[in-house]
Amino acid sequence: MTEKKQRSFLKELPILIGIALLLALGIKTFLLQAFSIPSDSMQNTLQRGDRVLVDKLTPWFGAEPERGEVVVFHDPGGWLDESVRQDTNVFQDFMSFIGLMPSAEEQDLIKRVIAVGGDTVACEKNGPVTVNGKALEEESYIYPGDSPCGSEGFGPVKVPEDRIWVMGDHRSNSLDSRFHQQLPGQGTVPVDDVVGRAVVKAWPIDRWGTLPVPDTFAEQGLAAAPAALGLVGAVPLVMWRRRLRARAAEGAPGAPGTAEVSGTAPGAVSGTDGRAAG
């Protein structure tokens, strides 16, 4: 009986291994992927040799990078030296393919999102970095002793829609958006090139931890004011005009005449759709 069980297990073992490999491949493709940190550009948040897990699920549902997130992205072109490749063996290539080891072939980078499409980002000599005129308080995550943008400064740069401006936390040792402004997009990265957000430092164990968004990116006034706010401001004016018209129709004493109300002054709101006339 025992021999039959062993033979049965040996027959099922290849199937179990195949299922495990398919699950690992599925996790890498749709859920999480491991990446190795190859440089010092994100110190002290990330150290050379750290392994991070990158969320690849939420982008499938339309999520886009937000300010303050640490993201992995493909080389947009011209950022990395393609001649520099790590030597790998067949085992490493296979483990990378199924997502159990970081890939040495993919030309990917990891940086922090500072500004998103529609933002204006700038930094005068030695900082601070400003986003839409709001200064960032970056002491909690940039490398100790670094200035926010170095002695050169940059911008202002208007980030195109569907692109992001990224910078390494080790500002004096990071070839980020600041140093690629001569390329198409002025150093910004297409959202389509983003693999996902790094959410966890998984290795080594003694450095395990999450990668939260710093508080400075949650401050009010950081986001660019959308044009729709003009409509919000127009609503009280429209309601005021309607009330005046109602009073005039009822013949309330002291109310402005109907012709006076219906006349549209230059620059005033015309009708109730929130568009400006004149």
Interval 246-265: pLDDT, tens: 555 555 444 333 222 233 33
List the catalytic residue out of 28, 56, 111, 201.
111
What residues of the chain score a pLDDT lower than 70? Answer: 1-7, 9-10, 13-31, 60, 82-106, 220-278
pLDDT of residue 219: 76
Spell out where 170-251 has E strands: 189-190, 194-203, 209-210
Active site residue 140: no
Active site residue 201: no
Output the pTM of the full model. 0.67
Token code pair at residue 35: 């990446």
d(CA 167, CA 42): 9
d(CA 68, CA 73): 15
List the catalytic residue out of 41, 96, 174, 177.
41
pLDDT of residue 229: 34
